[in-house]
Chains A and B, each alone.
Chain A
Amino acid sequence: EAEVAQSPRYKITEKSQAVAFWCDPISGHATLYWYRQILGQGPELLVQFQDESVVDDSQLPKDRFSAERLKGVDSTLKIQPAELGDSAMYLCASSLDRSSTEAFFGQGTRLT
C-alpha cells in the first residue's frame, strides 16, 4: 500500500542549529502539506504545495522556516535557526488534488 514517507522519525537539536525534514508523498499526488502539531493540540498548516508551487504559506514563520518542492515530487522543510518553541511533531500529508480528495499523512518527525 502506498504511503507518505518522512525522515528522520526523530530529531534532537540545540537552539540556533539548522534542521531539515524530508517528505516523499504518495506517487501521483499533486498536493503536499506540511503541518506542525504541538503536544495536545491539533495539527496546524505551515505550507501547502500544488505541484511545485506554494499555494499557501501564510502560517509559515518565514524568518526561520523555508520549504521547497523543486520537482513537484518530494519536499524539504528547513528551520534555521531552531528555537525552543519549535519542539513539535512535523507532519507531511499528500492528496490527489486540493479539493475533495482524501489526505494521507506520514508518520511525522518529532523535533526536540
Chain B
Amino acid sequence: KQEVTQIPAALSVPEGENLVLNCSFTDSAIYNLQWFRQDPGKGLTSLLLIQSSQREQTSGRLNASLDKSSGRSTLYIAASQPGDSATYLCAVASGYALNFGKGTSLLVTP
C-alpha cells in the first residue's frame, strides 16, 4: 500500500519568507502527484498537478518538484503571505486512487 509522509507537520514563518514543504511516498509507480490547500472546515483546493513524466510545475509563487525515483516531492512557496496560512496536503495517484499525507499546517505571521 502506498504510504505518504509530509514533513514538517506544522510550520510558522514570518511574512515574506520563502519556504519548502516536503512529501515522500513509498511506491514510485505513480500516475501523478497533486498538492492541495485546505482552509479550516473547508474542502480541498487543487494547487498543482505533476504528471509522473514531469519534473516540476509552477503556478505564480508556487513551484512543485517531483523526483519519482527517490519518492519525493517538494512544494516551494516564494515570498509567503498571511493569506497562505492553511494546511497543505500532498496526494499521490497510484492504483487508481489518491493516497494522502497528513498535511503540513502553515502559519504565516504578519
Contacts and interface: CB of A to CB of B under 8 A. Distances in A.
Q: Do A and B bind each other?
A: yes
A107 B43 CA distance: 4
A56 B97 contact: yes
A72 B49 CA distance: 25
Nearest to B103: A42
Contacts of A108: 42-43
Contacts, number: 62
B44 A91 contact: yes
A42 B89 contact: yes
B29 to A, nearest CB: 12
Contacts of B4: 42
A41 B5 CA distance: 11
A40 B102 contact: yes
Given A102-B34, A104-B46, A56 B96 contact: yes
Interface residues of A, number: 27
Categorize the interface residue count of chain B: 20 to 34
B96 A43 contact: no
Contact of A98 (B52, B91, B96, B102): B96
Contacts of B91: 42, 103
Contacts of B41: 89, 110
Given A48-B96, A100-B32, A41 B44 contact: no
Interface string B37-58: 0000111111001011000000
A43 B102 contact: no
A93 B45 CA distance: 11
B58 to A, nearest CB: 16
Interface of A: 4, 6, 33, 35, 40-45, 48, 55-56, 89, 91, 93, 98-100, 102-108, 110
Given A105-B44, A108-B43, 5 more contacts: A42-B4, A55-B96, A93-B44, A99-B93, A103-B34
